Chain A
Amino acid sequence: MNKNKKKFPSPHGKATGKVPGRPHEKPKDFKGTVKKILRLIAPFKLRFIAVVIFAAGGSLFNVIGPRILANATNEVAAGVRRMIDSTGTINLVKVGQILTILVAVYAVSAAFSYLQSFIMAGVTTRLSFNLRNDIMKKINRIPLSFFHKQSQGDVLSRITNDVDTLEQALTQSITQAATSVTSLIGILAMMLLTSPLLTLIIVLTVPVSLIVVRNIVKLSQPHFRKQQKFLGAVNGHIEEMYGAHLVVKAFNGEERSLEEFDELNDELAENARKAEFLSGLMMPLMGFVGNLGYVMVCVVGAILASKGQLDIGGIQAMLQYVRNFNQPINQLANISAQLQRMAAAAERVFEFLEEPEEDDSKATRKLSDVEIHGDITFDHVKFGYEDTDKIVISDFSAKVKSGQKIAIVGPTGAGKTTMVKLLMRFHELTDGAIYVDGYNLTDFDRHDLRSEFGMVLQDTWLYCGSIMDNIRYGKLDATDEEVIKAAKLAQVDHFVRTLPDGYQMELNEEVTNISQGQKQLLTIARAILADPKILILDEATSSVDTRTEILIQRAMDNLMKGRTSFIIAHRLSTIRNADLILCMNNGDIVEQGSHDELMALDGFYANLYNSQFEKVSE
């Protein structure tokens, strides 16, 4: 009974809120993916080599700097000694000469690193541009069944996030690998040249303490996980309560909900604090490691200097090197994670690009060679979705003459759109064949074939653009007059003319600035403009008010004149007037015939008909 205790229960433990996970992602096949990435960047080989050379050169010149500066400082120090011994003074000319060289060295270093970034920006933006185009082309060629198992959001995130990650990680890992390796070797070499003993001490302290620090910070990981968990729970509770705001208020549940929220919120705050504190230790501790090295150089350097084994310029140079020693070590330690991240993102992109495409190589007939009237024959059609073993249509045969109306009826979820998808060859038959005017559908190129079909679905698809462009989508080269003529036939001309900019009105992103019924009229206009031989229509249901429904009906009647039409029907009159009714249940066609025939059967159709259009007197 414990489960029932909470009155406004929240998803404890099973966090449903979206949690921005820390990047733990690992690719499935690292080596293979890296090879593919290399192939991807092969055309830019020369530019990548240039990037590496400039990156390495830039950091090399930067590393030499302190060593040259040391010479200048030493020159000053020597002068000071001469001043103390009263044998002379500082040789400013010599100092000036050294500093001039230094100016040149630093200028070259800066120029190199800018050139590196400049080239890299060009290459990586080009790469992601190409990848995105490839993905988009792929979207249009991949079989529809792919999108049954993959959500839209997933594909979308490959276009944006994954390509972005790939771009960034590629930029960073290549540049950082080149710069940090050069810096590390360069700094080590310079330090050894300056003072082998000090170098040894630094190499022993700095990297060792870096490892210790990194491990301490790892302690924060469990808290991060807990933080994410409670964040998920809190966000889940928020989503749930806001989503059901009305119900919470209707049942006076505000207080109970707030109590629940506070419990979760307290846990979240406490864990977030711990996680942030522990990870926040990184900075101070790293600072301490740096200061430790600094103090070491000062003390040991001073001792060495007092023995004449090191000069002041040397101490100064060592101080600069020890300050810059942490960064390349940290970067190198991060590069493997960087590469993993890159490979994981790249793998997802490649995976999508390697999906099999709709194959049209077997098309033997050109549509332009034959004349289509719209006779359709279904010959023992058997069908099951590609990714399952289940057969949904077991054995369906029917003959449809051109110009006939075929009503498809069935309860919600009966798979009424399956027929549509088969006719348009969005899916392949498992067995049997569909013939149009005696030609097997599979003889044609899909693209070609689809141009003979017109489709008006209830789930209207309009895009962000003008109304004119949206109608013209049915025939891209249509003139304005043709578009308006189609709109008139679709009963939508009058409505469009009442809008602020008429045909030029821009539909907004979610297409919320016109109503559902109006959207449907626009898609009908589009189909009229396309002038197909065969039509597939989805009748409006109750989401449209009575007046618009009459308009839609009239528009559809106009559209169907002289065309073979498949209608996913909801209206009594449509069903009764159909030449053939296909009655579907659970994906399969369970009965076919005219209204009177099917009523006489007194089977599934009769039952359905009676429940949809029930005699209500009990």
Chain B
Amino acid sequence: MTKVLSYLKYAAGYAILSLVFLIVQAFTELLLPSMMATLVDDGIIALNGQNEQMTFILTEGAKMLAMALVCVAAAIGVSYFSTKTSSIISRRMRHDVFERVLKFSNNEMDEFSTASLITRTTNDIQQVQGILSGGIRMVFFAPTMAVGSIVLALSKSKGMSWILLVAVAILLSIIAVGLIAAMPKIKALQKLIDKLNLVSRENLSGLMVIRAFGNEKHEEERFEKSNKDLRMTNRFVQRTIAIVMPAMTIIMNFSTIAIVWFGAGAIKDGTLEIGDMMAYIQYAMHVIMSFLFIAMIFVSIPRAMVSVNRLAEVLKAEPSINNSAKPQTLTDVKGIIKFENVSFKYSNADDCVLSNISFTALPGQTTAFIGSTGSGKSTLINLIPRFYDITEGSITYDGIDIRELSMHSLRENIGYVPQKGLLFSGTVKSNMLISNPEADDELIKSALETAQAKFVYDMPEGLDSDISQGGTNVSGGQRQRLSIARALVKQAPVYIFDDSFSALDLKTDAALRKALKAYTSDATVLIVAQRVSTIMNAEQIIVLDEGRIVGKGTHKELLKTCEEYREIAESQLAKEELE
């Protein structure tokens, strides 16, 4: 909350201005009934039949009209400055959240989950903006009106204050009782809707299975049960909420009646004038309405706070991977990557994903990683660009611990190909320039050719062909090849391929490997693969099982020495390949 309130400082001037206008608006609005009372008591009753009556009525009328105009002008001012405030704050907040998330390491991304961060940056900020622009008005206007109308009502008559007190007390207790009765059910309602959605979703995704087993009836019964729960709860909630409106009207009407009855007595005693009684009725209405709004604000604050808190969580989260105090820069890069006794576990896990990993990857060589799902091979190479920081041991790049390097310099010297071929909306060319803004068409062409992505030149617009968000307008294999080309454009001393070949068919895979060997002849290449055929020519193959190295060597050596490797190879290769 304080985190979000601190944003007010960016728009303090506008916020104060909107408050000033708001007070003017409330004040003028409230003066109208008083002027009406003067008109009735003096204009109609006291001056009855006298000459100046007409002039008096018209002057008073003109004053009232002027008051109404000031009121509307002030209200427009409020609207202007409060929207200004909310737009400044939400713009700033959106910027801050986005910037913060960009700084996050994979740890924080995993913790929050990408989907949740997206909703926080989009929906939640949208919510907060809505609350701010409407809320400033509501939160300040209702109390101002309440105070103002109570003061003015008291100035007309003190004897009837108890009516206001009783009315407000009844109002608040009705709301409280209603909330206590309905709240648990309202909360249950959301759960029931979720449940209904879940059952429907399961039915839609299981269409074939349900029909295959002939369980349609069973599913219908399951749905009907959730549906009935929803119906009953919904009916109860609606019927409870329906009490509020008639109750409100009755409180207002009965207060009016009480004011006329006790007012008449006071007038009879000569302590009250009739116009003042009429004004009193109107102030009473303002008091009741204001308290209704105040109650509504209190009810809606917890809901608004949900979004606010979700944003505060993001803003408070510190990226767990940062530059060291004096980060070093890589110069005269060779590209030697060395793991020494590296262990790693995810921040919230008990067990290590990787333990005691040691190896050296040399320039001009390919180091490959293979192992079954969950063996930690992807995790391992994601440690090199510092997407995660290791728990124990050290990783060095040209002899310097990567945690001592600036992240910018480290990543500048790595060509990374992710598991999923993630492309950005734009064109083929704009996607290539991401890794190397200086690349010319010649370089791009040679990268595309190496990555077996010549299909680009068959597209009508060639390099300028559109790529839609996520690259959904090209096939999975094409996406993967473009993402490989993107890394190649960088001409980095170290290349990392995180399982980047599995979407390719074997022929393309083979051609790509051949071309790659030539293109990256001096570079250090690290490859994670599923298929033995992808990596069998690597200079060094590292076999992982449950986070440990169980074999290191060439294909031929491993077939003889490593049982895990042979198991994988047997399931994939024809007999004659295993010798």
Contact = CB atoms under 8 A, between A and B. Distances in A.
Given A152-B205, A156-B200, A450-B214, A246 B418 contact: yes
Given A11-B425, A106-B253, A276-B83, A251 B231 contact: no
B349 interface: no
Contact of B205 (A269, A461, A617): A461
Contact of A235 (B45, B76, B122, B218): B122
Contacts of B446: none
Interface stretch (A484-492, A591-599, A607-615): A607-615
Interface in A292-322: 292, 294-295, 298-299, 302-303, 305-306, 312, 315-316, 319
A4 B393 CA distance: 43
B95 interface: yes
B204 A155 contact: yes
Interface stretch (B60-68, B171-179, B334-342, B360-368): B60-68
Contacts of A542: 373, 502, 530
B526 interface: no
B227 A463 contact: no
Interface stretch (B151-159, B296-304, B427-435, B450-458): B427-435
A71 to B, nearest CB: 10
A258 B99 contact: yes
Contacts of A185: none
A436 B261 CA distance: 90
B459 interface: no
A586 interface: no
B46 to A, nearest CB: 9
Interface string B237-281: 011001101110110011011001101110110100010011001
Contacts of A247: 416, 418, 422, 434
B278 to A, nearest CB: 5
A498 interface: no
Nearest to B71: A291
Chain B interface SS verdict (over half): helix
Contacts of B253: 65, 102, 106
A238 B121 contact: yes
Contact of A132 (B61, B76, B227, B533): B227
What DSSP secondary structure best describes chain A's contact surface?
helix
Interface string B43-55: 1110011000110
Interface string A455-483: 10100010110000000011010000000
B212 A103 contact: no
A616 B214 contact: no
Contacts of A273: 83-84, 86-87
Which of B54, B200, B408, B532 has the most chain A CB within a 10 Å cutoff?
B200
A501 interface: no
B377 to A, nearest CB: 12
Given A152-B205, A288-B68, A546 B571 contact: yes
B174 to A, nearest CB: 12
Contacts, number: 432
B214 A447 contact: yes
B98 interface: yes
B87 A276 contact: yes
11 contacts: A69-B260, A79-B267, A99-B257, A121-B239, A147-B204, A265-B94, A273-B83, A273-B86, A280-B133, A455-B209, A455-B212
Interface stretch (B101-109, B180-188, B324-332): B101-109
A616 B533 contact: yes
Interface string B81-118: 01110111011001100110111101001000010011
Given A117-B239, A258-B99, 8 more contacts: A76-B263, A84-B45, A92-B268, A103-B257, A160-B193, A246-B106, A298-B35, A614-B506
A346 interface: no
B223 A281 contact: no
Interface in A1-28: 1, 3-11, 16-17
Interface residues of A, number: 157
Contacts of B434: 7-8, 247, 251, 253
B372 interface: yes
B526 to A, nearest CB: 13
B105 to A, nearest CB: 8
B425 A240 contact: yes
Contacts of B122: 17, 234-235, 238-239
B260 A239 contact: no
A80 B430 contact: no
Given A265-B91, A306-B48, A249 B387 contact: yes
B72 interface: yes
A432 interface: no
A298 B64 contact: yes
A160 to B, nearest CB: 6
Given A73-B278, A244-B424, A426 B211 contact: yes
A611 B243 contact: no
Interface in B121-140: 121-122, 126, 129, 133
Contacts of A37: none
Contacts of A454: 212
Contacts of A547: 372
B530 A546 contact: no
A488 B219 CA distance: 27
B433 A4 contact: yes
By size class, the interface of chain B is: 35 or more
B569 to A, nearest CB: 10
Contacts of B65: 292, 295
B75 A287 contact: yes
Nearest to A475: B213
Contacts of A261: 95, 98
A99 B416 contact: no
A151 to B, nearest CB: 9
A144 B212 contact: no
A544 interface: yes
A159 B193 CA distance: 11
B13 interface: no
Contacts of B5: none
Interface string A108-144: 0111011001100110111011001100110111001
A614 B418 CA distance: 26
B224 to A, nearest CB: 6
A240 B467 CA distance: 13
A65 B257 CA distance: 10
A133 B227 contact: yes
A133 B418 contact: no
B57 interface: yes
A545 B372 contact: yes
A273 B547 CA distance: 54
Interface in B181-233: 193, 196-198, 200-216, 218-220, 223-224, 227-228, 230-232
Nearest to A446: B211
B385 interface: yes
A76 B72 contact: no
Given A103-B257, A152-B201, A530 B91 contact: no
Nearest to A549: B571
Interface string B396-415: 00000000000010011010
B9 interface: no
B21 to A, nearest CB: 10
B17 interface: no
9 A-B pairs with least C-beta separation: A284-B75, A9-B426, A117-B242, A299-B61, A269-B91, A121-B238, A273-B87, A288-B72, A545-B372
B30 to A, nearest CB: 12
B260 A246 contact: no
A234 B65 CA distance: 45
Contact of A258 (B102, B238, B422): B102
Given A80-B274, A160-B197, A261-B98, A152 B204 contact: yes
Interface string A331-353: 00000000000000000000000
Nearest to B99: A258
A76 B78 CA distance: 41
B469 interface: yes
A124 to B, nearest CB: 8
